[in-house]
């Protein structure tokens, strides 16, 4: 329908721009050639969460992810990395099969609210569903509104469990 026939021109332009923005984002499984790009993204994620990232440690973590075939998705726009998602597989008796745990999800500030996280998670959910995964788990920091709202919009629900950790390598780092 032409804009003159009823819809305001500005809204048409917004819609066209939105389609262009989304069309430029590509999501794919990362491989070893993406290690530097994804390491930079996930180091930025740790910084945003108030942790001092050790880039070598982030790289080692990604090397393990690639070795064990963990889902590791990267979103690119041209040659630029704009988002990443690192996921682990868990054997679950509670769910009776494979459960995925979203370890990291990050979108660079300049690319937010353009559907990058939705595209990363959409790909993850589609692949999980088609490969028989039973559930997807994750943790969200207290009060982290964008992430809560993102996950809620995709059907995730909060549970009453509290994450615990025993850091076996803390003394080596301190």
Ligand X SMILES: CC(C)(COP(=O)(O)OP(=O)(O)OC[C@H]1O[C@@H](n2cnc3c(N)ncnc32)[C@H](O)[C@@H]1OP(=O)(O)O)[C@@H](O)C(=O)NCCC(=O)NCCS
How many residues sit close enough to ligand X to count as binding (CB under 6 A)? 21
Q: By CB under 6 A, tell whether 11 contacts ligand X.
A: no
Q: By CB under 6 A, tell whether 58 contacts ligand X.
A: no
78: left (phi over 0), alpha (psi -120 to 50) or beta: left
Q: By CB under 6 A, tell whether 26 contacts ligand X.
A: no
Q: x-or-dash pattern for ligand X, window 133-162, by CB under 6 A?
A: -----x-x---xxxx-xx--x---------
Q: x-or-dash pattern for ligand X, window 99-118, by CB under 6 A?
A: ------xxx----xxxxxxx
From the list 71, 3, 88, 81, the residue with the least C-alpha distance to 40 is 81
Shortest distance (Å) from residue 120 CB to ligand X: 8
Nearer to ligand X, 93 or 145 (CB): 145
61/15 Cα distance (integer angstroms): 39
Nearer to ligand X, 135 or 138 (CB): 138
Q: For binding to ligand X (CB under 6 A), which residues are involved?
A: 45, 48, 105-107, 112-118, 138, 140, 144-147, 149-150, 153
């Amino acid at each position: 329908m032409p804009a003159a026939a009823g819809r305001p021109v500005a809204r048409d332009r917004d819609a066209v721009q939105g389609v262009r923005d989304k069309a430029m984002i590509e999501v794919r499984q990362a491989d070893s050639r993406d290690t530097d790009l994804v390491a930079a993204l996930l180091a930025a994620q740790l910084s945003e969460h108030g942790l001092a990232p050790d880039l070598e440690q982030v790289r080692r973590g990604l090397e393990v992810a690639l070795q064990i075939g963990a889902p590791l998705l990267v979103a690119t726009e041209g040659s630029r990395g704009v988002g990443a998602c690192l996921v682990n597989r868990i054997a679950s008796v509670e769910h009776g099969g494979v459960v995925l745990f979203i370890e990291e999800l990050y979108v660079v500030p300049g690319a937010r609210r353009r559907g990058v996280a939705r595209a990363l998670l959409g790909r993850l959910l589609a692949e999980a569903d088609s490969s028989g995964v039973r559930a997807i788990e994750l943790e969200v920091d207290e009060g982290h509104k964008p992430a809560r709202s993102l996950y809620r919009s995709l059907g995730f629900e909060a549970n009453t469990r509290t994450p615990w950790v025993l850091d076996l390598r803390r003394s080596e780092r301190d």
